[in-house]
Amino acid sequence: MRLLSMSLKALRYGMSVGWCPICEKRTVFYKRGSWLRDDLRCLRCQSIPRFRGIIHVLQAYVPNWRDLHIHESSPGGASSAKILRECRRCTQTYYFPDTPPGTFKDGHRCEDLEKQTFPDETFDLIITQDVLEHILDPAAAFAEVARTLKPGGCHVFTLPWYYWKGTVLRAVRNGNEIRHLAEPEFHGNPIDPHGSLVVTEWGWDMSDFIYRASGMTTTVIRIVDRYRGIDGEFVEVFISRKPDNSRRGINKGVLAGSRAFFAQSGT
């Protein structure tokens, strides 16, 4: 029945033959709806475009990622599974409000991106996928990312980017409560059936915000590659790099020749 349902949707919305960066095999991409960001699926691994996009960027711009020390916050989906499976030193964490940071719940380490327990300069690479639009204090989160990165290290991430407008706050922390500035909106959460509140709609000024909070410069990479099944809305991948005054960073030259359409900001 599942195969029949997928076949009917593919016939209705369309399909194409290509190569999946996650499977690393030829595959069929089929549309199960009109919102390509969530609906353009790989027949083999069921990945969606932003999963394939972040793996493609890792392969292209951080080709040694499998040998690096990686922290991924709030992992989920086929891309996170691939990273955990293929990286030699990958630490994946979730935030549980009822669990002290640095301890474990159900086999998963709890970490608050705003106040992490990791020592300074622990990781070569930090990955977040559609996480930072849900953080109530993103300045603290970006500062913590920079603190826990080694010099020259990178933060590779995705989020919905409204490049045509300025950043909009939808909610703020008010003591121990949340004050809503817009109608509450929630995205899916792999560990919470109620979802995650959308706090920020990041706009064209996001890279400057990151620079002010962390000192990291950010490159935006927009990919439309239908052969690799990367197409649709909000499929940008972002790379923020921590300065390396010694010029011996692990990712030196990673961004050289980038096809970014949004230049490094904050300089």
In a domain, 131, yes or no: yes
In this prediction, residue 253 has a pLDDT band, given cuts at 50, 70 and 90, of very low
pTM score, two decimals? 0.88
List pLDDT tens digits, range 209-237: 999 999 999 999 999 999 999 999 999 99
List pLDDT tens digits, range 118-157: 999 999 999 999 999 999 999 999 999 999 999 999 999 9
Number of structural domains (the chain) is 1
In a domain, 99, yes or no: yes
How confident is the model at residue 245, as a pLDDT? 80
**Per-chain mean pLDDT for the chain:** 89
Asked if pLDDT for residue 204 goes beyond 90, the answer is yes
In a domain, 35, yes or no: no
What CATH number corresponds to the domain at position 139? 3.40.50.150
How confident is the model at residue 257, as a pLDDT? 31
With beta carbons less than 8 A apart as the criterion, state whether 179 and 172 touch.
yes
In this prediction, residue 5 has a pLDDT band, given cuts at 50, 70 and 90, of low
Q: Please, which residues have CB within 8 angstroms of residue 262's CB and are 6 or more apart in sequence?
A: 163, 207, 219, 220, 222
List pLDDT tens digits, range 53-111: 999 999 999 999 999 999 999 999 999 999 999 999 999 999 999 999 999 999 999 99
How confident is the model at residue 54, as a pLDDT? 98
In a domain, 17, yes or no: no
Asked if pLDDT for residue 250 goes beyond 60, the answer is no
Cα separation, 258 vs 220, in Å, equals 9
In a domain, 178, yes or no: yes
In a domain, 203, yes or no: yes
Asked if pLDDT for residue 164 goes beyond 80, the answer is yes
With beta carbons less than 8 A apart as the criterion, state whether 29 and 42 touch.
yes
Alpha helices, H only, the chain: 2-13, 36-39, 49-61, 78-86, 138-148, 206-214
Q: Rounded mean pLDDT of 161-167?
A: 97
Identify the domain containing residue 205 by its residue range.
63-241
In a domain, 174, yes or no: yes
In a domain, 101, yes or no: yes
Which residue has better confidence, 251 or 221? 221
Asked if pLDDT for residue 262 goes beyond 50, the answer is no
